[in-house]
Amino acid sequence: MEEVKEFKYRINMATIIFLGALVFYTVFTAFTQSMQSTIVMVIFTALCFIVFIGMRPYKYSIQKRN
């Protein structure tokens, strides 16, 4: 029998700092670099948000050992 534990969604401080710095750099790039660099940074930032926030597991199963 599998026991499924469900956890509340929590994001750690390192992820918040990284994503905040990435957003700041993306906005900075938008005003100082070419349009091609800005588009690449926006796509990279969106992918980072999807990976770090959207693809986090919220359930996992533990098999009891005998």
- Does this model's pTM top 0.75? My answer is no
Number of domains in the chain: 1
Q: Which amino acid is at 58?
A: Y
Least Cα distance to 51 among 13, 11, 4, 21 occurs for: 11
- What domain range is 13 assigned to? 2-63
Element (H or E) spanning 15, and its range? Answer: helix 13-32
CA–CA separation, 15 and 6 (whole Å): 21
| pLDDT digit string, tens, across residues 24-60 | 999 999 999 999 999 999 999 999 999 988 877 666 6
Identify the bridge partners of residue 27 per DSSP, sorted by sequence position. Answer: none
